[in-house]
A and B are shown apart, each in its own frame.
Chain A
Amino acid sequence: MEILRITTAGSVDDGKSTLIGRLLYETDSLKTDQVETIEAKSKSLGYDYIDFSLATDGLLTEREQGITIDVSHLYFSTPKRRFIIADAPGHVEYTRNMVTGASNVNVAIILLDARKGVMEQTKRHLYITQLMGIKHLIFTINKMDLIDYDEQQFNSIVTEIKKLVDQYDWNPELDFIPVSALKGDNVIRKSNQMSWYNGTDLLNLIKSLTITEDVSGDGVLQVQYVIRPKTEKFHDYRGFAGKVKSGVFQKGDQIEVFPSGQKTTVKSIEKYGQNKDEVVEGENATLLLEDEIDASRGNAIVKTKHRLKTDKQLQAKVCWMQSSDLNPNSKYWLQQGVNKILVKVNDIASKIDWEAWKSVPTNRLTMNDIGAVNLQLAQPLIYAPYSSNKSLGAFILIDAQTNNTAGVGFIL
């Protein structure tokens, strides 16, 4: 059974929680006791129908206010596929949560209210999904029941979205589904209210879409932990354990350790104590090397033939996530995978003006801003642009005073 990771985005009241609640309910992922709780709560609140958002809004304040304020993780399965949904809130002020929710997914489901069409929030969702390089977008045009399942209205929304996507140098797969989350139209089965719609329902689409795994990147393993058993049997054992960040490693590969530059060969590959001939992107592995060389946590073991860059100066797009501003000349910890380096923000070149929809000059980033910055690193970093290698091109910035995750960056 494969896993498909999905994020959901929508504006306030687009009915996102209702849509997810219905998916959970109709795939029997909500159990009787949970449904009973929701039913009783809906009734006590005086609602005419079962409010499925009560299943996904986990916090008391959310249920009180009827809004989602934090990323929630939800799980459901069909016989052939497991789904993990990162449900991100729709409010403007919680844009950072959408970036978070979108960072680990194959697909984004973006909701729109059929009565309102493309909103400012929709444009922002599009901007974020293209920034994060999401390859498949499903637009669900919700509340079709409230516009009498009108085909023209649906088509004009589709045209408008396609135009917006065309502005970017980005070619995601696009799907558009007219739904009513409340009534269940086109959610888990095709609606008979919209004979003009030739596509499939949402559940069937996510069940059947192809999940691509790409291992064509440069071979890189970041050392997480050096295994040294110090026992009689494994006296001289030194295994470099970590995740293959990209590409493939095989026994006998020529490698180089970064930053020391020492070169050697992969003597053997182990995985949880078992020998392996090959490990690929996303897998954990323990590399044993031919020569005794020095490598510690955060160092990269790289196959000698690669296209990666090393530099102490970086240009990146940053999405700011904490309430205190990002100012020039401030210092942070940069964490790329497991590798941490002190960094100074040299200057902030520009940020997106969400109202004017253009890049404007600025000297600070406030929470939920996305801007371009120049960084000066204390040590050189081995990296690739985010657009060509997500795991070596992304980093977080940690506030050295508060230790909070202050922002996320995408190397240009």
Chain B
Amino acid sequence: MNTLSYLEEEAIYIIREVVGQFNKPVLLFSGGKDSIVLLHLCKKAFLPAKIPFPLLHIDTGHNFPETIALRDELVKRYEVQLHIGSVQESIDRGKVVEEKGKYASRNSLQTTTLLETIEQYKFDACMGGARRDEEKARAKERVFSVRDDFGQWNEKLQRPELFDILNGQIHSGENVRAFPISNWTELDVWEYIRHEKLEIPSIYFAHQRNVFNRDGQLMPCSDFIVHNPEEAFEETVRFRTVGDMSCTAAVPSKALDLDTVINEIKGSSISERGARMDDKRSEGAMEERKKVGYF
């Protein structure tokens, strides 16, 4: 079995386990490449039936418009229901306070909105497109990751996962984060997108954009991020990850299609999350966010 088939088999087995073991699963969907791959795998898993669970987008309000447009299009194409948890609403209700200063981002505010939305809809399993190769704390993550009533990840009390046996037994009020593409790498995701001819947001390909330099990273100019307008300049860039606009940096690129993107990644000397300001806040930034319920 080649790598892509092996990974596809593994992911679909996990997706079917989620639906088999839980009452109210949901697919966390950001509109980024990983969640688009996951959505496609979910479709394959249940053919010729439709996907038997809804999608949930935790909307920071700081999105790339291209991502939102494709999100809405895909919801129609895949005939799925979409729920939206709005960070703006959490701010308006005083549940979270907007960060201040030039590094302000809504990335970590998402956690509160996510936990509230899970509680509101009583979701007991949230599938996501996180991968172990992304970040060192994620390398420790289980396929079924149990979160307590507070959404917390306890890295020292993780359930051992043996063979292909997944233990999703939980107490009421707890939920499981399930990661079907845990064992995929960034390159696998791209090769799968090419193999399955999936549509992804245009910002993953090279385009002209106004950017400014912050700590050596090319940040996109937008209303969501404070910068000196005189620093802005136009550059041909693409995005390797698509997160909140305030914490996702662009990389210079000439890649206009999947083949050239794949070649660029193969030759790149910078890791995928090297352009994520949210991971650069401290050495254990991801681990600390996961402990309080981040995805």
Contacts and interface: CB of A to CB of B under 8 A. Distances in A.
A225 B44 CA distance: 13
Contact of A337 (B136, B164, B182, B269): B164
Contacts of B162: 99-100, 103-104, 394, 396, 405, 408
A338 B160 contact: no
Contacts of B133: 74-75
Interface string A30-65: 011110010001000000000000011111100100
B92 interface: no
A159 interface: no
B167 A398 contact: yes
B140 A284 contact: no
Interface string B1-12: 111001001001
A190 interface: no
B139 A31 contact: no
Contacts of B169: 333, 398, 403
Interface stretch (B15-23, B109-117, B199-207): B15-23
Given A3-B3, A284-B13, A403-B170, A34 B48 contact: no
Nearest to B288: A60
Interface string B116-152: 0000000000000000110011111000001000000
Interface of A is mostly: mixed
Interface string A146-178: 000000000000000000000000000000000
Chain A interface residue bracket vs B: 35 or more
A146 to B, nearest CB: 28
A356 interface: no
Contacts of B16: 224-225, 241-242, 284
A339 to B, nearest CB: 10
Range of interface residues on B (Cβ < 8 Å): 35 or more
Given A33-B274, A74-B139, A241-B16, A394 B163 contact: yes
Contacts of A103: 162-163
B156 A282 contact: no
Nearest to A59: B155
A228 interface: yes
Contact of B48 (A63, A70, A273): A273
Contact of A2 (B2, B9, B164, B167): B2
A229 B163 contact: no
A358 B6 CA distance: 40
A154 B287 CA distance: 41
B270 A60 contact: no
B48 A234 contact: yes
Contacts of A99: 160, 162
A405 B167 contact: yes
A77 B266 CA distance: 11
Contact of B47 (A97, A273, A405): A273
B228 interface: no
Interface string B248-288: 00000000000000000000111100100000000110010
12 contacts: A1-B2, A3-B3, A55-B136, A72-B140, A73-B183, A99-B160, A336-B165, A337-B165, A338-B20, A338-B165, A396-B162, A396-B165
Given A73-B140, A338-B17, 19 more contacts: A2-B1, A2-B2, A31-B268, A32-B269, A57-B136, A59-B137, A59-B140, A74-B139, A77-B185, A96-B160, A228-B49, A231-B49, A243-B164, A321-B160, A335-B165, A396-B162, A403-B169, A403-B171, A405-B159
